[in-house]
Every structure is written in structure tokens, then in C-alpha cells.
Structure 1
């Protein structure tokens, strides 16, 4: 999908600010309070010089934004992507603040990233990028200050490098400085699939709210990475027919339902969903968004459902596995067409919930079983869904409006209780 980066990131930040403005109006917040919540608490842009494997030096740009620290340390992912900009990171950090508050996790929102395409760099080069970026933002980091996690283009190995770099700098092993780590370094059971588990929990609840039986329903999942892959697996296990999936290379469809385990094996062998033998290709990967399905899960990148295609979305329920996949104008169009949209700050909050569990375990050096993690995740997601759905119904709000109002209200209350210093 071709995108104008400057327009794209500006639109993402504008959507985030507009959502905050709507919530402030619903809550009756003062102008000063709303302004305080709109501005990041702290942000830094750093140069990340990299010595390439051929001996040449390239200077990359990295960012880290701490949107809000009122309810606890900043929490949010680090992405390696050619599309990273400061405006995008600001928007994502703000959404993390609301996400943490909505699921009652004692964090504020943070986000970071380095502008590079990780596919164009060797493993050794990515390690050097990670370590230099970590050292540059290290004054902001710490188990009680700012706790990064994996995001687009990063994984548990990147988190291990970040943890080691930070720990070397402070002179002791700090397991709680990042989450999403390997199990051998204090990671949590259930963390790798947590976001997808959370997406599935709320997707099933949303389908039920619309009177759709899960067994036999049709689902389409955009993206087959960390979130989309396991979401497709869990939906299929729940009885939904996953009829279409896509990745950055293309999309495949099988109206009888894809064999998700077989598709996973194909992706492991080839690196893409394209060419899976028991399916048909879609002419355009974006056509997946407008297929006649019950459930659509956009689990790739921001702003894929826009005013240009929202009127053609045929799904009854859209569950946002990615951050910000639906633009503000598209939201209005979908609402007018009675398409239920479960917003990102609710739908994909499972990742930060289990990141919190990992942080708690690391700080206590006491580890939970996978069943304990998943049971506690299910409980958090269920409560968040029920609270959001109840407010939406009682105040005649969209789920996004209700979720944002609940989250913004929690942060505003904490601000008021702490007071303004000095």
C-alpha cells in the first residue's frame, strides 16, 4: 500500500488529539486539564550512529516519547520501521496512556522507535543499533521510570539487548527495565500471545453482542505478524472460519476456512502467506478489508480503514488489533452504517496487561504459570469490555468514545488528586 508519510503521521496524531477532545467534552474537563493531557510530558530525539558491516557509518534517527507519568512509569513499545516519525510516536504514546488506564494497569503511556527498515540490516547491525539507541535514551529508562517492550520490527531478542545495555550502564541486572523478554531472562509465560489473546476475548464478546454465533462465523485478519498470526489461530480454535489473511506481500482467501496451522507452517517455510497452496490469492491485499465477513481484524499498521474504503467494509464487527487502523472519518462512516468498531485501546490491550504481569514477576523474582497468566488476562479484558460496553450504552457513545472517556477520566482524576507542582 502506497502511503505519503508526512500526511499519514499527521493524520494519526490528529486522530489521537481529536479523540482526546471528544472525551474531554464528554467528561466536562477544564481547558487547562485537556491541554495538559494533550501534551507529552517528555520526549527526546536522538542520533543513532551505526557502523555497517562493510565499515561505512550511517546515522539513523530515534525517538522516545513519555506522554504521561501520572499513574506510574511510562510503558510502551519500541519499533524499528522506515515509517517512524516523531508525530507517529507521540500519537502512539498517547494511546498507550489511555490503554493502560482502561485496563487499570499502573502505567503511563510511552513509545519509541528508530527509523530504519530492519529487513535491510544484518543481525549484528540491528544489535549495534539497539545498544546505541538504548544508551542514548538510558537517562529516561528504568523499572520505575520507563519500560519499553517489543513492537513493529522488534522482538524478544531486541528486548534482551536493551535490558543488557541498560543493566551494564547501571552496574546490576535490571530484569524489570523492559518486558517482552525471553523466558530465560525473566520473561513471562503467555507474553508472546497476550495481545492476540486479548483481541480474541473482546472479538468473541463483540460478536455475541451483535447476536453472531462464533461457530460458523467468517473472519478476516489483516497482518500475519505478532498479533495477526495468533489471532487467526485463536479465532479458528474458537470455531470461527478464518477465510482470509494478509501480510505485506499479499493476501490469500479460502471461503471454506483456511487451515491456519497449515498456513503457519507455510509462512515459517517461505516467509509469507503468499503462495499457500490451499487458497486463492486476492488481486490486491487491501481487498481483504472489504470482504463479506462477520469479523474483520486489522492487525497490521495505522490508517488502513479510511474514508476511501469505509463505505465498502462489509464486516459486522471490526476489532482493532493494530494501533490506529481506522481514521476518524472512517469511524463516522462505519458508525453510520452500524458497523461495530472495538477500539485499539481496548482490543489490543492484552499485550500491556501481560507486560505488567511480567514486570510484577520480574520485580518480585517470582514466576506465575501460563494458566495463571491467561486467567488473569481474561479477567482484565472481560472487565474492560463490560465497563466500556455499559458506558457506551448508557451515554449513547461509540465503543471508542466510551473507552477513551473511561481512560481519560481515570488519568484526569489522578492528575486532580496529585495536584499541580509547584
Structure 2
């Protein structure tokens, strides 16, 4: 049978014939109500624009992030000659929860939101990972993010596993009161599955330190006593850690320093381009500027600016706060994000969105070091091109791991009920991420692979070794006879 749209567009008299057949020739056998319904429907259809659906373009296929995560696991497993049983287990999350959260909206109506929490693997310790609010959030996306958190905590040597959570909602369309009711409802829904020694959430996309305080408060009300360590990324006055706000960017800076040492690049006067001028991009630019680098270009979603003599990151931020963008900063030239990525520079920090460097523009990248401040800014195809060009890529699970490292420090401080100075936090972060960088570099050299593959190999090996140590060869407690 031809699609309805095609039939109606090819036969403009079809509506009249249908009406005559039903309303006239049937002699009222189908009842007045049915005739009125059809009459109304036909009147509406007569004013509609009919499209031949056979001529529509095929739907856009969105890559499944979970499939990408599994592909990365498979590559590492193959390089490691990983035990097939361990490999199979690591393809699946340990547990995943779907919760429904009813919320009374400001207008008195009730909406039910879908929330997720995935605990991917806890071989190395309690699972750890953020909570994101997004209207297009899916379970596959959360599962992929939980897998990546597993590798991120492992590669940095933290005694943690990987988890992730979130709610399918549009926070931009909700009031603060609605967001608080939603967040507290989510906390109640997952309260049986989280805890300081089980699974510790944190902020992520469109969630804040204030929301973490709400979750901590709600969880504490449920158990009957204050539990500061149930989440991280909290405000400092309710158990948060000093240094957390800039931790991700400080980690980027420390890894760039190590990469420069390895490559023999003098950072005094080294040129830097930063794509994205949010929290991570701004602090990365500021910190690299403080150690002597020259920031020659930065950008945001509205465009970029370039000055070969150098930009002052703090003054650029002041301009952005006043105008809403870095664009039109005094003394700078307007450039596009694409031009920023391809410009001559020593260090490129993509700190905006995923898939910014692809197989199309990778041949034009001229930086000596690419430090991934964002998650997934370089596609797998581009990664291979950059590696062959001799460009040193610091992968996201290493470069931007400063945030989760300091989140772990927050957990430790909460458990001790003793808090470190900001200088102590910075020193411990530097030690941790520097060791992680050199561990990955050693793996890269030994196996003649790029830094990303080496990072995944190291992370997967650490998780697999922990699983074997805990359960032995018989991963399942039930051994077939």
C-alpha cells in the first residue's frame, strides 16, 4: 500500500471521494458522531500541505556513544591480550538504574521525569561520576560516560570505579524551585544505591555545587545524620574542597608541562590557542599564561579572537562578562573556531565540544601539543592522522582528569573531617596527575602506541588486575562442573 502522504499528493480528489463514500453512500450507517469526526478531519486535511514522504531525506544517524566506548575497550583489550572472560565482563555495566521522579511544577501541574544512574565497575573502589541534566539524555549515553569514568579514575591511579547519572530534562526551561524539587526527588529515588563507600555523584553538565548541597542535605535527612561525603563538588562551607573550581584546568596545565618536557619545548613564550572560554578554557588559558606561555587566540560559541602579541586571559574574561562574548576584544582580530584550530601554535587546547578535530581538518592542524580539555574533541580517525603527523595528543581521560582527582580529595577530606589548604590540594594534584602522565608515557613507549591507546591500555589493565586479584581466574563464583 502506498503511504498516505504519497496517495493524497498524487490524487487531489481523494478527500472528496472519501467524504462522499462515508458521508453520502453509507446512508448514516456509521452514526452521526463518526461522520462528524471524519468531516472535521477532512476539513483540517484540506488546509494542510501534503508531502510525498517517499521523497524525504533519510534520517540523520547519531553515533551511539556506548558503541564508541566499547570500541575503545576492544582496542585496549586486543593490545593487552586481555583474558576473554574479563573482556566480556567489562563490556557491560555492573548495574544500571532507571527512576521516575514526579515533580510539582510552579503552575501546580505534575510532571514525571526520567532519571538514570549507572555504576559501571567497582573493582578498584566505590563508583564515581557526575550527574547531568539534559533534554536528550539517554541510558546509552550515561552508560558510555560511566565506562569512561571507570577508565579515567583507573588511569590516574585513584582507588575508585566509574559511574554516571542524570535526568532527562531541560533545566533552561525550569525555575530554581522546580530544579530543587527535581534534584531532591532524584536524590530520594537513588538514595538506596549511593553513599560515601558505594557510589559518589558530582556535578556535570547543567548541574551545580548548589545542587550537590541539595542532594547531600536530602540524603542526610533520609539516613538521619549529616553525610558530607555522599557527593563531591559541594560548596566549601558544606564540605567542599578548596581548589575544585579550577582543578580540571590545573590538570590540563600540569600535563602540558610534562608533555613540553618530553618534547623539549620551552614554555616561556610558547604560543597557545584555546577553543572554548568557559570554566575549563578560561582557567587553562590563565594558568598557562601564568607559567610564561603566550595566549595568542581564544574563542567561544560566537567566534574567536587572535593577537600574535598575546592576550591577557583575565581581561578577556572581563570583556566576555560585559559583552557576552570574547568577540570584539580591543586590539584583537576576529577569527572563526575553525581558524583557531588550524592556526600555527605550539599548544592547542580544545576545551569546548566533542568532535572538533576530525579527519577533515586534522591534516591542517599545526600545533605541537593538543591537550584535550573537553571530552572527546578529537575523533578516532583524526587521532590516527595527528599521530602520524607527529603531533603529541594528551587524551581527555588524562588531560582533564584534574576534576575527578580533586573530587577524590574532597571525599578523603570529608571522611577524615580534616580539610587541606589550597596549596596542599594543588601539590597533591600535581603529584597525582604527573605520575599518571608518566605512567601513560611509559606504556606508550613500551608498546609503540599513541597516548590515547596507552591510557586505555593502562586503565583497562589496572581494572582487570583488580578483578583478577579479587575473584581469581573464576570470575563468576559459580564454576561449571
Any idea what SS the aligned residue of 2:132 has? strand
- Determine the structure 1 residue equivalent to 2:468: 416
- Determine the structure 2 residue equivalent to 1:41: 94
Evaluate the alpha carbon distance shift between residue 22 and residue 5 of structure 1 in structure 2; reply closer, same or farther with a 3 A threshold.
farther
CA-CA distance at 1:101 after TM superposition = 1.1
Question: Of the candidates 119, 131, 153, which is equivalent to residue 78 of structure 1?
Answer: 131
Q: Is the CA contact 1:79–1:151 (under 8 Å) kept in the aligned structure 2? A: yes
- Determine the structure 1 residue equivalent to 2:393: 341
Question: Of the candidates 319, 341, 358, which is equivalent to residue 306 of structure 1?
Answer: 358
- Determine the structure 2 residue equivalent to 1:207: 260
- Determine the structure 2 residue equivalent to 1:178: 231
Between 1:173-182 and 1:302-311, the stretch displaced more is 302-311
CA distance in structure 2 between the partners assigned to 1:92 and 1:6 by the alignment: 22
Evaluate the alpha carbon distance shift between residue 128 and residue 250 of structure 1 in structure 2; reply closer, same or farther with a 3 A threshold.
farther
CA distance in structure 1 between the partners assigned to 2:222 and 2:323 by the alignment: 39
CA-CA distance at 1:7 after TM superposition = 4.3
Q: Is the CA contact 1:183–1:189 (under 8 Å) kept in the aligned structure 2? A: yes
Question: Are 1:166 and 2:219 an aligned pair?
Answer: yes
Any idea what SS the aligned residue of 1:67 has? strand
Bigger relative CO (Cα 8 Å, ≥ 6 apart)? 1
Evaluate the alpha carbon distance shift between residue 250 and residue 113 of structure 1 in structure 2; reply closer, same or farther with a 3 A threshold.
farther
Question: Are 1:125 and 2:178 an aligned pair?
Answer: yes
CA distance in structure 2 between the partners assigned to 1:243 and 1:211 by the alignment: 21
Evaluate the alpha carbon distance shift between residue 56 and residue 304 of structure 1 in structure 2; reply closer, same or farther with a 3 A threshold.
farther
State the Cα deviation string for residues 236-263 of structure 1 (Å, max 9, x = none).
1111122222233333322222211111
Any idea what SS the aligned residue of 1:140 has? coil
CA distance in structure 2 between the partners assigned to 1:290 and 1:147 by the alignment: 39
- Determine the structure 2 residue equivalent to 1:403: 455
Any idea what SS the aligned residue of 1:227 has? helix
CA-CA distance at 1:421 after TM superposition = 4.4
Q: Is the CA contact 1:5–1:83 (under 8 Å) kept in the aligned structure 2? A: no
Q: Could you list the runs of 5+ residues in structure 1 that have no partner in the other structure?
A: none
CA-CA distance at 1:8 after TM superposition = 4.3
Question: Are 1:366 and 2:418 an aligned pair?
Answer: yes
Question: Of the candidates 166, 184, 190, which is equivalent to residue 243 of structure 2?
Answer: 190
- Determine the structure 1 residue equivalent to 2:432: 380
CA distance in structure 1 between the partners assigned to 2:303 and 2:222 by the alignment: 43
Q: TM-score, normalised to structure 2's length? A: 0.82
Question: Are 1:355 and 2:418 an aligned pair?
Answer: no
Question: Of the candidates 302, 305, 314, which is equivalent to residue 252 of structure 1?
Answer: 305
Evaluate the alpha carbon distance shift between residue 80 and residue 301 of structure 1 in structure 2; reply closer, same or farther with a 3 A threshold.
farther
Any idea what SS the aligned residue of 2:225 has? coil
Q: Is the CA contact 1:9–1:87 (under 8 Å) kept in the aligned structure 2? A: no
Evaluate the alpha carbon distance shift between residue 55 and residue 173 of structure 1 in structure 2; reply closer, same or farther with a 3 A threshold.
same
Any idea what SS the aligned residue of 2:315 has? helix
Q: TM-score, normalised to structure 1's length? A: 0.93
Q: Could you list the runs of 5+ residues in structure 2 that have no partner in the other structure?
A: 1-57
- Determine the structure 1 residue equivalent to 2:321: 268
Evaluate the alpha carbon distance shift between residue 117 and residue 391 of structure 1 in structure 2; reply closer, same or farther with a 3 A threshold.
same
Length, aligned pairs only: 417
Please list every run of at least 4 consecutive aligned residues from structure 1 whose deviation after the TM superposition is greater than 4 angstroms. Answer: 4-9
Any idea what SS the aligned residue of 1:154 has? coil
- Determine the structure 1 residue equivalent to 2:115: 62
CA distance in structure 1 between the partners assigned to 2:410 and 2:152 by the alignment: 17
CA distance in structure 2 between the partners assigned to 1:297 and 1:7 by the alignment: 28
Evaluate the alpha carbon distance shift between residue 51 and residue 199 of structure 1 in structure 2; reply closer, same or farther with a 3 A threshold.
same
Within 5 Å, give how 1:14-25 maps onto structure 2.
14-25=67-78
Q: Is the CA contact 1:322–1:344 (under 8 Å) kept in the aligned structure 2? A: yes
State the Cα deviation string for residues 367-387 of structure 1 (Å, max 9, x = none).
111111111110111111111
State the Cα deviation string for residues 363-409 of structure 1 (Å, max 9, x = none).
11011111111111101111111111122112211111111111111
Any idea what SS the aligned residue of 2:191 has? helix
Q: Which has the larger radius of gyration?
A: 2
State the Cα deviation string for residues 344-376 of structure 1 (Å, max 9, x = none).
111111111111111011011011111111111
Any idea what SS the aligned residue of 2:445 has? helix
